[in-house]
Chain A
């Protein structure tokens, strides 16, 4: 079975902090994704990566950056956290054309 592991289930940070969310997958998938999910807005793609050191902006990249130094690890960075970034963050991975497999999610609160 595919295993996508997100480093934290719950996280509380303060406005202005730099926040790191980590995601690791164990199935040698080339594609990795970061989403946020808010009530009524569905899943929104922040960034994705199709190879090591490669990244593409999704629908809502503002205020975020990503890093993929190794194939199995994809990090989401909130450069200066703001209260409107309070959300559920979901990491996923996939092979090309195949379904995405999700981690358990990180519920992030910015105070």
Chain B
């Protein structure tokens, strides 16, 4: 059974701080890793994809992947109140069409 674990939160950070969201996964055959942002009442929106070990930066977002530790994280720099949402980690295993989703971490950014 493939599992993706996330702390449910809420993670509370002040505006301008760095928010760090973490995710662990159980399947060592996992090859593709994604972060989605979901506002309340809305559908998930893809914000980052990462496929190899190391860091990948896109604007204020940095995804970090460590396959040896089966760990993927998302850093949000200069957090804004508009970043307040639930962040879902999703993992794809080689040869599978499906993604395994974590249950998400709620982030609250206070002004």
Binds B, one of A63-71, A76-84, A101-109: A101-109
Q: Contact check, A45 vs B98: say whether CB atoms are below 8 A apart.
A: yes
Contact of B88 among A43, A56, A96 (CB under 8 A): A43
Nearest-Cβ distance from residue B89 to partner chain A, whole angstroms: 11
- The A-B contact count (CB < 8 A) is 46
Taken together as a complex, chains A and B put the C-alpha atoms of A100 and B33 apart, in Å, by 11
B45 on interface, CB distance cutoff 8 Å: yes
- Could you tell me which residues of chain A, from 82 to 98, have a CB within 8 Å of some CB in chain B? 90, 94, 96-98
The residue from A48, A97, A102 contacting B92, defined by CB atoms under 8 A apart:
A97
Q: Which residues of A contact B99 (CB under 8 A)?
A: 99-100
- Distance (Å) between the CB of B40 and the closest chain A CB? 11
**Contact partner of A48 among B32, B49, B90, B97, CB < 8 A?**
B97
Asked if A61 CB lies within 8 Å of chain B CBs, one says no
Q: Please, which residues of chain A bring their CB within 8 A of the CB of B103?
A: 40-42
A25 to B: closest C-beta gap in Å: 13
Distance of B92 from chain A, by nearest CB (Å): 6
| Residue in contact with B43 in the complex, picked from A33, A58, A94, A103, CB distance below 8 Å | A103
Q: How far is the CB of A52 from chain B (nearest CB, A)?
A: 14
Instruction: List residues of chain A with CB under 8 Å of any chain B CB.
Output: 31, 33, 40-43, 45, 48, 50, 56, 58, 90, 94, 96-105
Chain A to chain B: the 4 pairs with minimum beta-carbon distance, closest first: A42-B103, A102-B43, A105-B43, A43-B101
- Contacts A/B (CB < 8 Å), 8 sampled: A42-B88, A42-B103, A43-B101, A48-B97, A48-B98, A50-B97, A100-B46, A100-B90
B residues in contact (CB < 8 Å) with A: 31-32, 34, 42-46, 49, 88, 90, 92, 94, 97-99, 101-104
